[in-house]
Structure 1
Amino acid sequence: MALFESGNPALSEKKFSSTVIPDVLHVDEATTMTVKGSLQKFGFLLLLVLGTSFYSWKQFAEGGAIQGMLLTGLIGGIIAAIVIIFKQEWSPYLAPVYALMQGLFLGAISAMFNAAFAEKAPNIVFNAIGLTLAVAVAMYLLFSFRIIKATEKFKSIIIAATVGIGVFYLIVMVVRMFGVDMPFLHEGSAMGIGFSLIVTAVAALNLILDFDMIEKGSELGAPKYMEWYGAFGLLVTIIWLYMEILKLLAKINRR
């Protein structure tokens, strides 16, 4: 049975176990991964996201073209993420690049949502940010106090749900190329809102698995650069959670 797993592909058992220092009794915090170090680096990456998000948001507000930033952020973020997943030792250099790219994308897409719901829900973006932070803190506290435990059964359920959602989104992308759309993914119907609630819940519960992975990596003496890798993986989940909450609020306000 796996010692630790995560539904987040960036935080998989193989990624961490392949870097673990065997003699965990003689490791040094200066050279090995710690939970504190991972959270500090996550905070730094989050600041980078906010910085470039503000820039692309400001460009949109001033009437500038943001299509370039939207595509640059999306494609650049995907490329950086793929490289990091296969080259964890590069994460101290590429995790900040990923954060900067995703910031450009998030700022642009958030500005578009803000403009689209300026009359119905003028604070939709800030509400999504607040809810994302609140959920993240709540999940961390639930994990820290072991109110929710990352048991093998819990991991299996969340991983299966995450993979299922990923496959479903992939199918949606493929059929859309042939002109077939699924309206409930965008409409404020009961089915659409229910679907978003389920996906948002799964994204939130993935944070439990991510926290568990970072904690286990620290306990097993993973090398110092894995702090950046753990922070990157956590950021991936936070961004997913934010986007799902933003889409959920948009559906609610379309009713």
Structure 2
Amino acid sequence: MALFKSGNPALNEKTFTKSFSYTDAEAMTVKGTLNKFGILFLMTMATAGLAWKMVYSGVDVTTYMWVSVFGALGIAVIMVFKMEWASFLAPIYALIKGFAVGAISAFYNFAFEKIAPNIITQAVALTFGVVIAMFLLYKFNIIRATQTFKKIVITATLGIAVFYLISIGLHFANIDIPFLHEGSTFGIIFSLVVVGLAAMNLILDFDMIENGAKAGAPKYMEWYGGFALLVTIIWLYLEILRLLAKLASRK
């Protein structure tokens, strides 16, 4: 679910390396970024709830879901090159991506409601648990975003991104890669690795947002940073959900 240089579509090594000259009122802050993230998160939840309701009302949202997935990807790519548009595009991304997340969640919940009735609740709880844990590890310098750390995480994330794109293309050709969806031992190990990788990307996000605030980046970068964090958290949630589904299928 991630297709970008730092593990998500928004942040990369050069995002905050520029020098800026803005007043305090015009500059990016960590608090402002978190506020923007909160707004984007609520927007995501709103359309996710809509998609969930549609699925359980008997509406076939498969086409809408795929349109949302690729539409959100397209908007994310545009923002990589037009960061100054983030204040307009980030909310659109959140609304579109939220619908896809809601539809995917509803499909999983419906498929596993008999053998794992709390799978969505568990995935949400684990996601926020991981986010909090990674923030504390970053805050207390237990895990540092060194250059070596960044290169390893970025390279691994790009590899997963390419692999996922290939798997999506094969899916439309009616060819599925078994360990992506099945609860085999290798499949579970693969999911654990990807969950860990998504978690490591949070360290990069925290580090770059903090560096952006220190560098006095322009105010619109708060939207960009909030969007970046949202991307990683959504990716983490979907990977945890996939892992829980594989574990449930082994029962």
TM-score w.r.t. the length of structure 2 is: 0.92
**Aligned equivalent of 2:197:** 202
Read off the aligned partner of 1:40 and give its amino acid letter: N
| Residue 179 of structure 1, CA deviation | 5.2
Structure 1: how far apart are the matches of 2:175 and 2:31? 47
| Residue 102 of structure 1, CA deviation | 0.7
**Aligned equivalent of 2:12:** 12
Structure 2: how far apart are the matches of 1:176 and 1:120? 26
**Aligned equivalent of 1:40:** 35
Label 1:122 to 1:67 Cα distance change in 2 as closer, same or farther (>3 A). Answer: same
Q: Indicate the SS of the match to 2:16.
A: helix
**Aligned equivalent of 1:112:** 107
Of 126, 129, 134, which aligns to 1:131?
A: 126
Per-residue displacement from partner, 1:182-211 (whole Å, max 9, x unpaired)?
Answer: 211111011000000000000011000010
Label 1:66 to 1:9 Cα distance change in 2 as closer, same or farther (>3 A). Answer: closer
Read off the aligned partner of 1:15 and give its amino acid letter: T
Per-residue displacement from partner, 1:107-132 (whole Å, max 9, x unpaired)?
Answer: 11110100000100011111111111
Structure 1: how far apart are the matches of 2:218 and 2:29? 9
Of 131, 140, 151, which aligns to 1:156?
A: 151
**Aligned equivalent of 2:139:** 144
Instruction: State how many pairs are aligned.
Output: 246
Q: Indicate the SS of the match to 1:11.
A: coil
Per-residue displacement from partner, 1:128-187 (whole Å, max 9, x unpaired)?
Answer: 111111111111111111111111111121112111211222333345555543211111
- The CA RMSD measured in Å over matched residues stands at 1.7
Q: Which runs of 5 or more residues in structure 2 are unaligned? A: none
Matches within 5 A, 1:1-255: 6-18=6-18, 20-21=19-20, 23=21, 27-176=22-171, 180-255=175-250
Q: Is the 8 A contact 1:53 1:106 kept in 2?
A: yes
TM-score w.r.t. the length of structure 1 is: 0.91
| Residue 85 of structure 1, CA deviation | 1.3
Q: Indicate the SS of the match to 2:193.
A: helix
Structure 1: how far apart are the matches of 2:76 and 2:165? 18
Q: Indicate the SS of the match to 2:115.
A: coil
| Residue 15 of structure 1, CA deviation | 3.1
Identical residues among aligned pairs (%): 53
Q: Is the 8 A contact 2:9 2:76 kept in 1?
A: no
Q: Indicate the SS of the match to 2:14.
A: helix
Per-residue displacement from partner, 1:28-48 (whole Å, max 9, x unpaired)?
Answer: 331011111111111110010
